[in-house]
Amino acid sequence: MPTYEYHCKECGYYFEVKATVKEKEEGLNIHCEQCGSENLNQVFGGFAILGGQAVNVKSRESQNGGGCCSGAGSGCC
């Protein structure tokens, strides 16, 4: 079953919805899981192939505490 990702324009929360293609085509009644808003954008992810593995390169600044360089580690994205 496909997974569709959404971003709430009200509170900045990202979440996923699992639905069949038929359900998606018929229209989903989706609300933000955090604040209940219907003001949403569907997110289309970006992926890169690094060393034979698919890596999600999308940044979720609002949920990760700000940017991809927001903590421990030897470097940025």
| Domain extents in the chain | 3-60
**pLDDT > 70: percent of the chain:** 57
pLDDT of residue 46: 61
CATH class of 3-60: mainly beta
CB 17 within 8 A of CB 38: no
Lowest mean pLDDT among 4-13, 18-27, 68-77: 68-77
